[in-house]
Amino acid sequence: MLHTTRRLLAGPLLVAAIGAGLIIAPAAADAAGVAATVQVGRTLKLRSAPSLSARIVGQVRNQQRITIQCAITGTSVRGSVRTTNLWDRLSSGHYISHGYVRSTRGVARCANPSPQAVPVKTKTAPKSFYKLGTVHSADGKVNVRAGASTSAPVTGSLADGAKVNLVCGVVGEQVDGTVRSSTQWDRTSSATYVSHAYVTTPTLPLCPGASTPPTSSVTLTSAEFIAAAVPGAQLGWRQFGVPPSVTIAQAILESGWGRSSLASVDRNYFGIKCFNGVYGPLASGCHVYQTNECTKAGSCYATTATFRTYTVMANSFRDHGNFLKVNSRYQPAFSYTRNANLFIWNVWKAGYATDPNYYTKITGIMAANSLYAYDTWK
């Protein structure tokens, strides 16, 4: 799990759509600009480029009104409004993270976007480059199709337990399967497709030209999300010792109340990654997402990151507890398994997040939503 400014995609490239200030399709900058309001604890730094390492050129205060000309891709930032890698170019020519901004209407992309990685020319993959996947289906045989859609022609089928050679993943129609709900389809060695919703596999790269999955339209109210989160959070406490209120509050902050693509598609509420294709005993597989990384000089480029997928919400919450438990840096926190505030304080101080307001945000969520009531210590 990465630190706040680089750990969670929170739905890579997608979380910018949460809350006010949606980012619309690339277009020329609006000459009149878009009115917006800064939402930050105290003050927020203005930068010379869309990067946390760029030169500081000023600052804005909480609730200050600003005018946005357009938005551009830069360093991913977890703000008070959203987690996003989009930065707003102000009328002054300076930049501010869109993670701390609410705008009155959609913001157009700047005319000159950040550099994108050049796709590698497609070649027939040698057999040694195939990844072996396993089909898991409680719904009978899984259809193999000519395209990444349930409307594409059927070219064959695979039974539960069948092995299949896979090359890469593409974005297609969302499917609710036995393993997960996913928009990823896996391209086989014969150039056909099988839904990733029925397959477990080592890490697959994105196929050349594949795009980022759309955000799921499934949303829960705050009360519904908390009710769904409680069983897994309390089970995580019994197994690993993380207070339920802490787990639920971190899931709310890190997944945007479950609206991030990681959460809504793959039931990953904490951005836990796969490591060399290994996803541990509680996850069901790995999902490759396209994201952006930025150099210290502020130059950004497209890349990929691989995150764990889960069959049910509770397993993500349990894996979060396991992640903290097995990492020695967080061991001091486990002296306070019956004191939620001291527990998250020690997790934050150990380097879980670089956001200086992370502890305040988490405890604020716990208090505002009465999450302490779920710390039953049973």
Tell me, yes or no, whether 235 and 176 share the same domain: no
- The answer to whether residues 290 and 348 belong to one domain is yes
pLDDT tens figures, 100-142: 999 888 888 887 544 444 444 444 444 457 888 899 888 889 9
**Has residue 165 been placed in a domain?**
yes
The H or E element that residue 65 is part of is strand 65-78
The CATH number that applies at residue 327 is: 1.10.530.10
- For residue 135, the SS3 value is strand
Same domain (yes/no): 63, 131: no
Query: Average per-residue pLDDT in the chain?
Result: 81
Q: For position 58, which CATH number holds?
A: 2.30.30.40
Same-domain check for residues 175 and 53? no
In a domain, 217, yes or no: no
pLDDT of 227 > 90? The answer is: yes
Please, which residues have CB within 8 angstroms of residue 126's CB and are 6 or more apart in sequence?
none
The domain in which residue 304 lies consists of: 222-374
- What CATH number does residue 149 fall under? 2.30.30
Which residue has better confidence, 378 or 330?
Answer: 330
Q: Is 3 among the domain residues?
A: no
- Count of positions (residues) in the chain: 378
Q: Determine what percent of the chain is predicted with pLDDT higher than 90.
A: 33
Contacts of 48 (CB under 8 A, 6+ apart): 54, 55, 56, 57, 94, 95, 298
249 with 320, same domain: the answer is yes
**Does any domain span residue 70?**
yes
Query: Of the residues 200, 232, 249, which one is the last residue of a structural domain?
Result: 200
Q: Report if residue 231 sits inside a domain.
A: yes
Statement to judge: residues 193 and 242 lie in one domain: no
Looking at the structure, do residues 99 and 155 belong to the same domain, yes or no?
no
The band of 350, judged by pLDDT with boundaries at 50, 70 and 90, is very high
Of 170, 200, 230, the last residue of a domain is: 200
Q: Would you say 196 and 180 are in contact if contact means Cβ atoms under 8 Å apart?
A: yes
Residue 10 in domain: no
Residue 89 lies in a domain: yes
What does the alpha-carbon distance between residue 155 and residue 143 come to, in Å, rounded to a whole number? 8
CA-angle at 195, arms to 189 and 197, nearest 5°? 130
Q: Are residues 242 and 330 in the same domain?
A: yes
pLDDT band at 12 (very low <50, low <70, confident <90, very high): very low
* Beta-strand pair 56-61/131-135: unpaired
Comparing C-alpha atoms, which of 122, 124, 171 is closest to residue 148? 171
Number of domains the chain is built from: 3
The verdict on residue 355 lying in a domain is yes
Whether pLDDT at 318 is above 90: yes
Which CA distances in Å does 273 have to 1, 249, 304, 307, 325? Answer: 6, 20, 12, 4, 16
